[in-house]
Chain A
Amino acid sequence: MLGSVRPSRVLTTLAALVLTGAAAWGDAPENASGHAPDGAAGDAPRRVVSVNLCTDQLALALAAPGQLVSVSRLAHDADSSAMADVARAYPTNGSGAEEVYLLNPDLVLAGTFTADATVQMLRGLGMQVELFAPARSLDDIPDRITRMGALLGREAQAAQMIDSFRADLAELSRAPGPRPRAALYYVNSFTLGDQSLAGAILNAAGFDNIATEAGLDWGGALPLEQLVMLGPDVIVRGRDYPGQSRAEDNLTHPALRTLTETRVAGTLTDRDWICGTPQVLNAIREMRDLRLSMQGTQ
């Protein structure tokens, strides 16, 4: 889900040969020496390219006008990207080394799951590539914002963003009431636990995650049998993807319909759940509303 490289390894290797050749000609970008990442606004990077859905969104929110030159292709997909509207103003890239190099950036933003071959090649070509690990808790979000602000030379905007995020989160977490037991249930019987961003969203919205009872801290397979036996108060399913796949059959298994005590919360948009950005507040708000509506019916 986090940015991936489309071309095959063969193509990447070919690109490597071509690009190394190009670099040897002395056609290297001006930034080969590299900028200090935490420099003042004066020597902040002027051409920033993001190749990962989550760095796209942080950069879109923080970059100065004209600073960000390209976002990943997923950023335009409204189903995955919480900021697709804003992102449409920017050209996209396919996250491949060749494409990124030709954009001549002085800073490349990528995720730690971006294909290693791409990252190594870009670094080998003298680019500054900064990797962001996916957020696994709500506390990670201010860290990511601070780091992005420092890299882009936009510390003040970052600090402001963090302040309003903290204030909104405190406001949302205040809703009282009992804590229902919820299960996050995704394609192929996958679930996420408390040590994940989705688990943190669920907790902040006032739910206890059933993955903890199943002994899953971070997440993993939650067999349908186990889900039925644990009988959560609510099952939160991932969104419906276009087209068909056998892997999604578990979400419509007849056994789920026989759980009369359990509320199967239909499709929740997961674009707000993926990235450690202030957009997770939307997800928390949605889940909190679900919880409050359940209290009403009980």
Chain B
Amino acid sequence: MMRLALGLSALVAVLFIGSLISGYSHVPPWKALAALFADDGTPVTIVMREIRLPRALLAVMVGASLGLSGAALQGYLRNPLAEPGLIGVSGAAALGAVLAIQTGLSLSFALALPLTALGMAVLAVLLILALAGPRGASITLILAGIAISALASALTSLVLNLSPNPFAAADIVFWMMGSLADRSFAHVWLAMPFMAIGWALLASVGRGLNALTLGEDAAQAMGINLRALRLRLILGTAACVGAATAVAGAIGFVGLVVPHLLRPMVGARPSTLLWASALGGAAMVLAADIAVRELLPDRDLKLGVLMALVGAPLFLHLIYKTRKELA
């Protein structure tokens, strides 16, 4: 476990530096990093401190939140298909964020943005758990997810189409696909408190999720309060996904791909998978955010596009594997 933790941390650190030295303007890496630490009076310092640093930090925060939420949801529902993006939680959070922006609420009260996103995410998780049941059967989970995603994205499009702003409709792509382009420290500070609460809540469900692998009766016999576990899971997931989506849009598949890749390495222990997925998610979003800037530097390629290219085939593979249950 120690080796996995060190390996993943090192990967995140390397990718974090990679993210800091990749960008549209070609500054030599050593010069860029030097300008980050010491103000050299050139615009490079502004670029590093105001543009690239918040972007790299947000990639870590958003990736960790999504990876952690995915691992927690999968542990609770004991279903590898549970993922915030696929089951509509991200979509609902995006709707909340769009509502906060379009009603002008976020202008008068900045925290309204993550708060409404969180509120809608809570609603979506509650709806999913109510529809899929405590055991989270694949068929109901996927169908409920499709319904919630479709409704949330339709309402998001509706709200943006009704906006008097001519560019609001173009925002639909951002909210559906997610991007970290030109985010600033304002977004870091906005998301940070909610994510911290979400991480703390989800970190505390590890033992409960381990016990749940033996079934609900066994877990209760081991002294796990299932009701409290469920509440922490709902609030933790909603805080993580709500805050991440409010600043970066809905980035799908992180919570699906990362736990799937790491599960064999942690011996399928849900509590270990939680922190491993947080680190893995951070690494994945960092890597994707480097790729969007290096592949098509002047096109503002959306993160969700890359994630779907990697994630959708895996999703199909997982459905194929669980088709007996689905039939």
Given contacts A220-B298, A226-B25, A228-B43, contact A243 B163 (CB under 8 A): yes
What residue in chain A is nearest B175 (Cβ atoms)? A246
- Considering the chains assembled together, what is the distance between the CA atoms of A260 and B27 in angstroms? 21
- Considering the chains assembled together, what is the distance between the CA atoms of A220 and B102 in angstroms? 27
- Considering the chains assembled together, what is the distance between the CA atoms of A220 and B24 in angstroms? 14
Instruction: Name the distance in Å between B53's Cβ and chain A's nearest Cβ.
Output: 11
Interface string of A232-266 (1 = CB under 8 A from B): 00000000011111111110011100110000000
Partner of A189, one of B101, B164, B166, B182: B182
- Considering the chains assembled together, what is the distance between the CA atoms of A220 and B300 in angstroms? 12
CB of A225 within 8 A of CB of B25, answer yes
Q: Which residues of B contact A268 (CB under 8 A)?
A: none
What residue in chain B is nearest A260 (Cβ atoms)? B46
CB of A244 within 8 A of CB of B107, answer yes
Interface residues of B in 190-247 (CB under 8 A from A): none
Q: Which residues of A contact B52 (CB under 8 A)?
A: 225
Given contacts A224-B51, A228-B51, contact A255 B46 (CB under 8 A): yes
What residue in chain A is nearest B179 (Cβ atoms)? A246
CB of A244 within 8 A of CB of B102, answer yes
CB of A229 within 8 A of CB of B170, answer no
- Considering the chains assembled together, what is the distance between the CA atoms of A228 and B46 in angstroms? 8
Does any Cβ of A come within 8 Å of B37's Cβ? no
Given contacts A228-B43, A255-B51, contact A243 B23 (CB under 8 A): no
Does any Cβ of A come within 8 Å of B104's Cβ? yes
Partner of B170, one of A245, A249, A255, A259: A245
CB of A254 within 8 A of CB of B184, answer yes
Does any Cβ of B come within 8 Å of A221's Cβ? yes
Q: Which residues of B contact A248 (CB under 8 A)?
A: 165, 167
Interface residues of B in 250-305 (CB under 8 A from A): 297-300
Does any Cβ of A come within 8 Å of B47's Cβ? yes
CB of B167 within 8 A of CB of A188, answer yes
CB of A245 within 8 A of CB of B182, answer no
Does any Cβ of A come within 8 Å of B327's Cβ? no
Q: Which residues of B contact A220 (CB under 8 A)?
A: 298
CB of B44 within 8 A of CB of A241, answer no
What residue in chain A is nearest B50 (Cβ atoms)? A255
Q: Which residues of B contact A246 (CB under 8 A)?
A: 101, 171, 174-175
CB of A249 within 8 A of CB of B165, answer no
Does any Cβ of A come within 8 Å of B306's Cβ? no
CB of B43 within 8 A of CB of A231, answer yes
- Considering the chains assembled together, what is the distance between the CA atoms of A229 and B175 in angstroms? 29
Q: Which residues of A contact B24 (CB under 8 A)?
A: 223, 225-226
What residue in chain B is nearest A224 (Cβ atoms)? B182
- Considering the chains assembled together, what is the distance between the CA atoms of A247 and B174 in angstroms? 9
Q: Which residues of A contact B106 (CB under 8 A)?
A: 244
CB of A258 within 8 A of CB of B46, answer yes
Q: Which residues of A contact B184 (CB under 8 A)?
A: 253-255
CB of B165 within 8 A of CB of A245, answer yes
What residue in chain A is nearest B48 (Cβ atoms)? A225
Counting chain B CB atoms within 10 Å of each CB, which of A1, A224, A244, A258 scores highest? A244
Interface residues of B in 3-45 (CB under 8 A from A): 23-25, 27, 43-44
- Considering the chains assembled together, what is the distance between the CA atoms of A253 and B300 in angstroms? 16
Instruction: Name the distance in Å between A7's Cβ and chain B's nearest Cβ.
Output: 14
Does any Cβ of B come within 8 Å of A292's Cβ? no
Q: Which residues of A contact B309 (CB under 8 A)?
A: none
CB of B186 within 8 A of CB of A254, answer yes
Does any Cβ of B come within 8 Å of A187's Cβ? yes
Q: Which residues of A contact B43 (CB under 8 A)?
A: 228-229, 231, 259
Instruction: Name the distance in Å between A73's Cβ and chain B's nearest Cβ.
Output: 13
Does any Cβ of A come within 8 Å of B185's Cβ? yes
Q: Which residues of B contact A187 (CB under 8 A)?
A: 167
- Considering the chains assembled together, what is the distance between the CA atoms of A250 and B52 in angstroms? 14
Q: Which residues of A contact B131 (CB under 8 A)?
A: none
CB of A245 within 8 A of CB of B47, answer no
- Considering the chains assembled together, what is the distance between the CA atoms of A63 and B51 in angstroms? 51
Q: Which residues of B contact A229 (CB under 8 A)?
A: 25, 27, 43-44, 47
CB of B166 within 8 A of CB of A241, answer yes
CB of A259 within 8 A of CB of B46, answer yes
CB of B50 within 8 A of CB of A254, answer yes
Q: Which residues of B contact A259 (CB under 8 A)?
A: 43, 46
Interface residues of A in 137-188 (CB under 8 A from B): 187-188
- Considering the chains assembled together, what is the distance between the CA atoms of A244 and B50 in angstroms? 23
Q: Which residues of A contact B50 (CB under 8 A)?
A: 228, 253-255, 258
Instruction: Name the distance in Å between B231's Cβ and chain A's nearest Cβ.
Output: 32
- Considering the chains assembled together, what is the distance between the CA atoms of A245 and B173 in angstroms? 12
Does any Cβ of A come within 8 Å of B137's Cβ? no
Q: Which residues of A contact B44 (CB under 8 A)?
A: 229
- Considering the chains assembled together, what is the distance between the CA atoms of A254 and B46 in angstroms? 10
Q: Which residues of A contact B299 (CB under 8 A)?
A: 221
Does any Cβ of A come within 8 Å of B168's Cβ? yes
The interface of chain B, by Cβ under 8 A from chain A, is 23-25, 27, 43-44, 46-47, 50-52, 101-102, 104, 106-107, 160, 163-168, 170-171, 174-175, 182, 184-186, 297-300
27 contacts between A and B (CB under 8 A): A188-B167, A189-B300, A225-B23, A225-B24, A225-B52, A226-B24, A228-B51, A229-B44, A231-B43, A241-B164, A241-B165, A243-B164, A244-B165, A244-B168, A245-B165, A245-B170, A245-B171, A246-B174, A247-B167, A247-B168, A247-B171, A248-B165, A253-B50, A254-B186, A255-B47, A255-B184, A259-B43
Q: A244-B106, A246-B101 are in contact. List 5 more A-B contacts (CB 8 A).
A: A223-B182, A244-B102, A246-B175, A247-B167, A247-B174
* Nearest 9 pairs of A and B residues by beta carbon: A243-B165, A255-B50, A223-B24, A247-B167, A243-B164, A242-B164, A245-B167, A245-B168, A245-B165
